[in-house]
Structure 1
Amino acid sequence: MFPGASEYGVDVAVEEGAVDDLLQVSPSDVDAPPALTFSRNVFVPLTTACRYTCTYCTYFDPPGQAELLSLEEVREICRRGADAGCTEALFTFGDDPDDRYTEIHAQLEAWGHDSIHTYLREACEVALEEGLLPHANPGDQTREQLAEVADVNASMGVMLETTAEVGAHAGPRRKVPGQRLRTLENAGELDVAFTTGILVGIGEDWRDRAESLLAIRELHERYDHIQEVIVQPVVENERWSGGSPDLATMRQVTAMARAALPEEISVQVPPNLAPAKDLIDCGVDDLGGVSPVTDDHINPEYKWPALRELEEIAASAGVPLGERLPVYERFLPAELRTDGFDGRLADGADGDREWISAAIRAALEADDAAGGRYRSVLRDGETAASH
């Protein structure tokens, strides 16, 4: 049982034998991908407040210094992104920021909101109005909090990071693996297409890494809702001087992710943080969200690569590069898919379940009527996959 699992009502367990088997996986045991994909996004840091104080994170500001974007600022960021050809609005903020920051809570109240989640809902609606598909990553969420915003998001996410208790989750309020797993389970119960991942190098050991990947797999097998798993190295910054994992570590853990996860789940590495060129043959098939407009506000010292750099990564691996939407195509209803939909995902997630809400469906259909920017992205990704 993982730490905090019983407290949050999570019934997730992994077999010791499966852990042992996964620990034997090496890069030579997995196949390189047939293609690489990425999403063109804008990064919208709704607030820099967070109730946690993880020692590797530069995103949070101390109480009294944190900021909260106004809806006018959100609209301007989204408008610039749409003008630059982006399709995704990536909303981030720390876990329950209004819980510890009185100024943030007071500002939300002045704007007519009793929580950050009702404000996030309004911000996502602004993104939709500006022609972007929201993908919110608001940290740990109760089922009620997730339900508040799920229908105005094309997909959502939270990094599991690790199922281990680690010293890097320092402070009086620590991240609890059981709570993170509960968030992943909430998303599955609510039919939310979901992104998660592991953070490598924060004090976990190899067994922890294997257990984390297998816990994600178990939840996906239960709900069929995980669209991608990020394998992200911790990086040096003004708050973290504990080093980053070396290339051999990243190659092995990436191969472990590919071996552990079902084929329909993409394995992603962030190209501004990880040596992507050296990891493609370990099973990486996605390079994540990259912005031509905004910084990576979580890792501001590490600049997004330009599109030509992504093309160079793909060329070095000898595979085509295609753009994708923030929600993977297997979650779209049949009438919104491209004709050349990749058969390896065709038996995936739709069935009798509604993964796309009426609001997101309306946005996709309106885009088709206006000339099909989303549709052209779907075709671009499908073309790459068909090579």
Structure 2
Amino acid sequence: MPHLITYSPAYTLVPTYECFNRCTYCNFRVDPGQDSWLSLTEAQQRLQQLQGQGVIEILILSGEVHPQSLRRQDWFEHIYSLCELALDLGFLPHTNVGPLSFDEMARLKQVNVSMGLMLEQITPRLLETVHRHAPSKVPDLRLQQLAWAGELQIPFTTGLLLGIGETPEDWRETLGAIAALHLTHGHIQEVILQPHSPGTSQAKAEKPFPPAQLIEVVQMSRELLPADITLQIPPNLVNDACLLACLEAGAHDLGGIGPTDEVNPDYPHPTAASLAARLQPGDWHLQPRLPVYPQYDTWLPSLLRQPVQQWRDRLGQPPANWTKAPAIAAQKQLS
């Protein structure tokens, strides 16, 4: 029987590329004040063109406006409005816009079926190198976000960025921190294992993360993370041999597939058809999924449950291995 590999049919909306962080490897940001924000009118036009095209997830991915900026509230309200717009047009929003306050996360839960934030690496050494000018990359700040997501029962995606100056022991510590948070709250849907891939817009040239080491990280992740956390590999950042080896090692999701990888614009996403062809040498079956996994449906606000169920009906029944809720998640529903 073929093994199931999932992906999310997705489209990315970027409210703004401006960001107060200056990570040396970033191919996304522009300086604050140097970017016009995406208007709701333009966003509506884009999304209307996607209706009936099989797109399920709208990823709201933004550069970060400083928490003390006079524009912060306008930025947050704009993100909230984009999520509402996506829902009104029949899509399911997933927001990843950097660290938020507890109250901001609680509000966005009302209009998002899931949310995310890359943990990257929790070693503080990177604050002296690639994150020297990136205040929101302080490890404790990002760990706090993951903990708050658990307290708020937000289905959550996080991940590791690999090849930015960390060590194998750092991988182990970061994975251990994710595992501990999930064992407490049961809220981590996926962990992305993202190999650094040099781009043309980054401030400092860095080497690509070696494919052989990515396979090692997949094996380590499967060893250290609870079995109900899915491992995700970005298929546009690896070659075919590495992709198949990562799947054999325990990664079973390929993330959001859409027209553009905004974080890695030099590496175009494959189409679903070309991705399925890449999987043919192995015993793999590619299947679309929603941005919220079935075991978390009961965590969703009531207004989000109907559109989620409608999409589930379109895709058919979820795979059997997804139907059992994580133990902690189930306990919370009974409490």
1:132 aligns with 2:91: yes
2:78 alignment partner, one of 119, 133, 138: 119
Q: How does 1:220-259 map to 2 (within 5 A)?
A: 220-238=182-200, 239=202, 240-259=204-223
Structure 1: give runs of 5+ residues left out of the alignment.
Answer: 1-32, 109-113, 334-354, 368-372
2:269 aligned residue:
304
Q: TM-score by structure 1 length?
A: 0.77
Q: TM-score by structure 2 length?
A: 0.88
Q: How does 1:238-387 map to 2 (within 5 A)?
A: 238=200, 239=202, 240-275=204-239, 276-291=243-258, 294-333=259-298, 355-364=299-308, 367=310, 373-379=311-317, 382=319
Q: Please identify runs of 4+ aligned residues in structure 1 that moved more than 6 A.
A: 383-386
CA distance in 2, matches of 1:227, 1:303: 25
- Shift, 1:98, TM fit: 7.1
Paired letter, 1:250: L
Q: How does 1:33-72 map to 2 (within 5 A)?
A: 34-72=3-41
The CA RMSD measured in Å over matched residues stands at 2.1
- Shift, 1:382, TM fit: 2.5
Q: How does 1:65-144 map to 2 (within 5 A)?
A: 65-96=34-65, 99=68, 105=71, 114-144=73-103
SS in 1 for 2:191: strand
Structure 2: give runs of 5+ residues left out of the alignment.
Answer: 324-335
1:189 aligned residue:
151
CA distance in 1, matches of 2:34, 2:68: 15
Residue pair 2:57, 2:94 contacting (<8 A) in 1 also: yes
User: Per-residue displacement from partner, 1:26-84 (whole Å, max 9, x unpaired)?
Assistant: xxxxxxx9320000011111110112110111111113322311111221222223331
Q: How does 1:144-155 map to 2 (within 5 A)?
A: 144-155=103-114
Paired letter, 1:376: R
Residue pair 1:227, 1:266 contacting (<8 A) in 2 also: yes
Q: How many residues align?
A: 314
User: Per-residue displacement from partner, 1:79-108 (whole Å, max 9, x unpaired)?
Assistant: 2233311110000112335756x7xx2xx8
- Shift, 1:356, TM fit: 0.8
Residue pair 2:16, 2:35 contacting (<8 A) in 1 also: yes
- Shift, 1:115, TM fit: 3.5
Q: Give the stretch that moved more between structures: 294-303 or 154-163.
A: 294-303
The change in CA–CA distance for 1:374 and 1:87 in structure 2 (over 3 A counts) is farther
CA distance in 2, matches of 1:76, 1:183: 32
Larger Rg: 1
Residue pair 1:52, 1:173 contacting (<8 A) in 2 also: yes
CA distance in 1, matches of 2:74, 2:247: 41
Residue pair 1:231, 1:268 contacting (<8 A) in 2 also: yes
Residue pair 1:133, 1:154 contacting (<8 A) in 2 also: yes
Residue pair 1:51, 1:99 contacting (<8 A) in 2 also: no
- Shift, 1:172, TM fit: 6.4
1:347 aligned residue:
none
The change in CA–CA distance for 1:197 and 1:257 in structure 2 (over 3 A counts) is same
Residue pair 1:39, 1:323 contacting (<8 A) in 2 also: yes
Q: Give the stretch that moved more between structures: 275-284 or 85-94.
A: 275-284
Residue pair 1:325, 1:378 contacting (<8 A) in 2 also: no
SS in 1 for 2:319: helix
- Shift, 1:191, TM fit: 0.4
Residue pair 1:160, 1:197 contacting (<8 A) in 2 also: yes
User: Per-residue displacement from partner, 1:264-301 (whole Å, max 9, x unpaired)?
Assistant: 1100001111332331111110000001xx31111111
Residue pair 1:329, 1:378 contacting (<8 A) in 2 also: no
User: Per-residue displacement from partner, 1:304-350 (whole Å, max 9, x unpaired)?
Assistant: 101122212332221211110000111124xxxxxxxxxxxxxxxxx
CA distance in 2, matches of 1:97, 1:324: 34
Paired letter, 2:314: S
User: Per-residue displacement from partner, 1:198-249 (whole Å, max 9, x unpaired)?
Assistant: 0000011111110000100000000000000000011111214211111111
Aligned-residue sequence identity (percent) comes to 33
SS in 1 for 2:44: helix
The change in CA–CA distance for 1:378 and 1:186 in structure 2 (over 3 A counts) is farther
